[in-house]
């Protein structure tokens, strides 16, 4: 199975996620209390078909997250990014 790896993997942050488990990718809204933190949620499905978060990636800036999203759009155009 193919895995999606982050451009910004540091230590144990942002581990790869199996592409087959992903239904959609959702950027989290900005947190006014911590503007340096940007987050991407990878959603899949549980055994009953309900949405569940299968992976979360963290970024030090919105620009880094947007660069990651551009890379995902390019490499995996079939994945919905909401």
pLDDT in tens, 3-55: 999 998 777 789 999 999 999 999 998 888 888 899 999 999 999 999 999 99
- pLDDT at position 31 is 84
pLDDT of residue 73 exceeding 90, the answer is yes
Collect all residues with Cβ–Cβ distance below 8 Å to 74 and sequence separation of at least 6. Answer: none
- Among 39, 82, 31, residue whose Cα is nearest residue 60: 39
Average pLDDT estimate for 51-72: 95
- Between the alpha carbon of residue 5 and those of residues 25, 31, 34, 48, 50, the distances in Å are 13, 24, 25, 27, 24
CA distance 19 to 4: 6
Element (H, E) at 75: helix 62-75
pTM for this prediction: 0.90
């Amino acid at each position: 199975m193919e895995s999606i790896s982050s451009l910004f993997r540091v230590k144990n942050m942002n581990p790869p996620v199996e592409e087959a488990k992903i239904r959609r990718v959702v950027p989290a809204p900005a947190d006014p209390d911590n503007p340096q933190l940007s987050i991407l949620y990878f959603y899949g499905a549980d055994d009953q078909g309900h949405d569940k978060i299968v992976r979360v990636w963290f970024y030090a800036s919105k620009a880094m997250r947007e660069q990651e999203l551009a890379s995902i759009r390019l490499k995996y155009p079939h994945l919905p990014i909401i």
